[in-house]
Structure 1
Amino acid sequence: MNESAVFQDSRVAAPDSGDPPTIGVLALQGDVREHVAALDLCGAEPVLVRRPAELAAVDALVLPGGESTAISKLLEIFELLEPLRARLRDGMPAFGSCAGMILLADEVLDTRPDARHLSGIDMTVRRNAFGRQVDSFETDLDFAGLEGGPMRAVFIRAPWVERAGDGVEVLARVPGGPAAGRIVAVRQGSVLATAFHPEVTGDHRVHRMFVDLVRAR
């Protein structure tokens, strides 16, 4: 990642008063630590989730970037797949970045036949849509609902959304280049997903949006 993308974000509002929401971070594989730090700075109480009992105790869950097929296998091994699907059906707020977006999809293209997904958002996602690791890139995105101007987005072997259902709000699209117009951030109800990694840049406005969404629940 280009070092210029790492900056201290002064645009995140101070944490709200009152009891902080308890937000789990799925800690099976991927960039767990970065999400924990961002949630803490946004006024939540982050906890690691590896077991069904830990999932049952949180108000919401973050699914981090990583390797989506590996995480899906680990969800089965740790007996989290069906409990997580059930909590999403019951309305638990969730946020997935990159691999987390893939896991939250209703349908996934270009993935392994044994991969599992959670059907948290009515969308079809194409895995590794932008190419391999060497095709990773950064760009500035206009993100609906965020004040403070465009945000720097880091795409690492990222997916994009091929189809967004009628109830899905499109929050951001690629602004230019060969992938111009591709959907890279969405929300359906209390479930949010980004194809990029807002946890690695220091700009925590997406995490703040999610924490506010959890508080509203």
Structure 2
Amino acid sequence: MKIGVLALQGAVTEHIKAIEACGSEAIPIKTATQLQSIDGLLLPGGESTAMRRLIYYGNMLPALQAFAESKPVFGTCAGLILLASSVEGEEAHIGQMNITARRNAFGRQIHSFETPLVIKGVSDNFPAVFIRAPKIASVGEGVEILATLDGDIVCARDRHLLACSFHPELTKDYSLMSYFIEMCK
């Protein structure tokens, strides 16, 4: 299994370590042509606006959209925003997952927190780290909600696409990353 990590900005190193801890090869992805050599792609947490600009600057958007149409992609935090088909108050980016994202839904950086989550089919006690986290404001037909926090959707799956509001790469619990790698198989 070769899992790519979009390596333009954000928690790239942390995602690479989490993928490798699950026994898969992690490939930093910096160009559109590199997408041809991977089985799945991780869109890391970081700053979605900076990532979007770098995606456009590198002319990667069409290739990322085509990849997400047919291959597994996992968007964490900012990656969720990039993957969403709709983003409140702005234009969608990669736009392949049938969800609406709301940026910074849990507050500013100072409001960051960690809380245990039940993630359907993954964990009964996942240590979710929320940092300026978005939420999934709504889901479209066929999207499976995997986790909620106080009624807000924080993890969902749409066919071969997975997204979460939090940072699984900042914990030693690799169950959600293993779940994604199984999706890639």
Q: 1:201 aligns with which of 171, 176, 184?
A: 171
Q: Is the 8 A contact 1:198 1:206 kept in 2?
A: yes
Q: Which residue of 2 aligns with 1:212?
A: 182
Deviations 1:3-50 (A, max 9, x none): xxxxxxxxxxxxxxxxxx111000000000011011011121110100
Q: 2:72 aligned with 1:93, yes or no?
A: yes
Q: Which structure 1 residue ranges, 5 or more long, are not aligned?
A: 1-20, 175-179
Shift of 1:116: 4.8
Shift of 1:146: 1.4
Q: 1:140 aligns with which of 116, 129, 136?
A: 116
Q: 2:14 aligned with 1:34, yes or no?
A: yes
CA RMSD of aligned residues (A): 1.1
Q: Is the 8 A contact 1:103 1:117 kept in 2?
A: yes
Q: Is the 8 A contact 1:186 1:194 kept in 2?
A: yes
Letter matched to residue 45 of structure 2: G
Deviations 1:197-216 (A, max 9, x none): 0000111100000111111x
Q: 1:117 aligns with which of 85, 90, 93?
A: 93
The SS at the match of 2:4 is strand
Q: Is the 8 A contact 1:160 1:195 kept in 2?
A: yes
Q: Is the 8 A contact 1:22 1:60 kept in 2?
A: yes
Corresponding pairs, count? 185
Q: Which residue of 1 aligns with 2:85?
A: 106
Provide the C-alpha distance between the structure 2 equivalents of 1:38 and 1:211, rounded to a whole number of angstroms. Answer: 11
Q: Is the 8 A contact 2:68 2:96 kept in 1?
A: yes
Q: Which structure 2 residue ranges, 5 or more long, are not aligned?
A: none
Q: 2:141 aligned with 1:166, yes or no?
A: yes
- Work out the percentage of aligned pairs sharing the same amino acid: 45
**Regions of 4+ moved over 4 Å:** none
The SS at the match of 1:103 is helix
- Tell me which structure has the larger Cα radius of gyration: 1
Provide the C-alpha distance between the structure 2 equivalents of 1:161 and 1:47, rounded to a whole number of angstroms. Answer: 28
Q: Which residue of 2 aligns with 1:48?
A: 28
Q: Is the 8 A contact 2:85 2:92 kept in 1?
A: no
Q: If each structure's strand is expressed as a fraction of its own residues, which one has the higher value?
A: 2
Letter matched to residue 71 of structure 1: M
Q: Which residue of 2 aligns with 1:126?
A: 102
